Amino acid sequence: MIERRFSEFSQSSAAAGATIPPGTLRAPEGAISSSFDVVAYNKERCVEVDGADVDQMLALMDEGLLVWANVIGLGTVELIEELGERLELHRLALEDTLHIPQRPKLDDYETHEYLVARMPVSTHTLETEQLSVFLAKGFVLTVQEQPGDCFDGIRERIRAGRVRIRESGTDYLFYAVLDAVVDAYFPLLESIGDELEELEDSVTTDQGQDPLHDLTRLKRDLVILRRYLRPLRELTTVLIREDSTFLTPKSRVFMRDCHDHAAYAVDLSESYRDIAAGLLDLHLSLAGQRMNEVMKVLTIIATIFIPLSFFAGLYGMNFDPSASKWNMPELSWAYGYPAALGLMLACAVGMIGFFWKRGWFK
């Protein structure tokens, strides 16, 4: 999975890189061919068309319905191009939609708002795809890289005829989409939180596998996560504060709610990062401490036996006692051996006592 993340970076570098001249619409490498779905609704009715075309979409708009158009897959450049021309989308915004990855951002153009975000694909890994959102007077257009998104809740609410979404304008839909993206980060953060909990257990109890790799990986993931989330917090701030033709004051109140969530997600990711760093430090300190314990015990054992072995070696010397009375007379002394054993015992006890007093057995 690590490779995936890094290759995402590389891909990004290539995409944003020099080879593609500005103004060219070109499908990114490996993009799947696009499908186009439309949900149109107003207070009274709600129409869903899977596999729609642009004419259908415009017809629904002419009927006075609010239209949410969703493009899945960046492979069919013609579709993007046609949408761009007939919905008056700015060329640069279309380019950014196709040149993945972009940094999450909010650009306002004369005829529409353009928002880029990274949408989590999975609740357990850091996989994300780029989501582009166009907000204009009568429609919201979302463009995603792959099938599968976090908008099922919104679709449900539209189908179920929930008053708030059915009676509000496109700006509320825009909020709902953005809010769904922000909220999709929470299960990810939750799974990181759960993993941190488990890691804390394995760090403090020293059970389970070595948490070194996992903690390093979590720290790096949180670095990347923060890189995705911070622009979201910033752009929601902009959406609250600045005037925009496409956002009514009423939906700004909702946007504030979305901003709170984004700010909370950034806060959490930063707290988690601090906690992961603290756990890493604790793990290294504890590992060092345990290692030191081992070394200390072993060294103490070795050190106690070294003088004993010396004495044993001493009385193993072959000096000839018959040569003179100075040559190892203790060897032939009747109590030589018990005395030697006693000497060794005294020496060992003395050293143990010395080490004990110095607190080295603690």
Q: Which of residues 160-219 bind a second copy (CB under 8 A)?
A: 162, 164, 176, 179-180, 183-184, 186-187, 189-190, 193-194, 196-197, 200, 204, 212-213, 216, 219
**Binding to a second copy in span 213-252, by CB under 8 A:** 213, 216, 219-220, 223-224, 227
Q: Alpha carbon of 185 to those of 121, 142, 258: distances in Å?
A: 10, 18, 12
**Smallest gap from residue 128 Cβ to a second copy (A):** 14
Whether omega before 211 lies within 30 degrees of 0, making that bond cis, reads: no
Cβ closer to a second copy: 36 or 68?
68
Residue 152, phi then psi, degrees to nearest 5: -60, -35
**Smallest gap from residue 306 Cβ to a second copy (A):** 5
Between CA 143 and CA 36 the distance in angstroms is 9
Q: Are 137 and 170 in contact (CB under 8 A)?
A: yes
**Smallest gap from residue 210 Cβ to a second copy (A):** 8
Cβ closer to a second copy: 78 or 278?
278
Give the one residue of 148, 208, 338, 342 binding a second copy; rule: CB under 8 A. Answer: 338
Give the one residue of 84, 136, 261, 269 binding a second copy; rule: CB under 8 A. Answer: 261
**Smallest gap from residue 61 Cβ to a second copy (A):** 25
Cβ closer to a second copy: 145 or 221?
221
**Binding to a second copy in span 90-119, by CB under 8 A:** 90, 92, 95-96, 102-103, 105, 107, 109
Q: Are 25 and 95 in contact (CB under 8 A)?
A: yes
Residue 72 bridge partners (DSSP): 35, 144
**Smallest gap from residue 240 Cβ to a second copy (A):** 11
Give the one residue of 337, 346, 349, 350 binding a second copy; rule: CB under 8 A. Answer: 337
Cβ closer to a second copy: 36 or 172?
172
Instruction: Render 30-44 in DSSP notation, one character per residue.
Output: TPPPPEEEEEEE-SS
Give the one residue of 229, 232, 235, 328 binding a second copy; rule: CB under 8 A. Answer: 328
CA 93, 75, 108: angle at the middle one, nearest 5? 10
According to DSSP, residue 323 is labeled T
Residue 70 bridge partners (DSSP): 37, 142
Q: Alpha carbon of 335 to those of 96, 339, 343: distances in Å?
A: 97, 6, 12
- Residue 17: how many CB atoms within 10 A of its CB? 9
CA dihedral 90, 91, 94, 100 (to 10 degrees): -130
Between CA 28 and CA 74 the distance in angstroms is 7
Residue span binding a second copy (CB under 8 A) among the ranges 28-36, 65-73, 128-136, 275-283:
275-283
**Smallest gap from residue 356 Cβ to a second copy (A):** 12
Chain centroid offset of residue 239 CA: 26
According to DSSP, residue 172 is labeled H
Give the one residue of 55, 88, 333, 353 binding a second copy; rule: CB under 8 A. Answer: 333
Residue span binding a second copy (CB under 8 A) among the ranges 34-42, 46-54, 127-135, 323-331:
323-331
Q: Are 21 and 141 in contact (CB under 8 A)?
A: no
Cβ closer to a second copy: 42 or 339?
339
Cβ closer to a second copy: 63 or 194?
194
**Contact flags string 277-316 toward a second copy, x per CB under 8 A:** -xxxxx-xxxx-x-xx-xxx-xxxxxx-xxxxxx-xxxxx
**Contact flags string 136-165 toward a second copy, x per CB under 8 A:** --------------x--xx-xx----x-x-
Between CA 148 and CA 143 the distance in angstroms is 12
**Contact flags string 27-66 toward a second copy, x per CB under 8 A:** ----------------------------------------
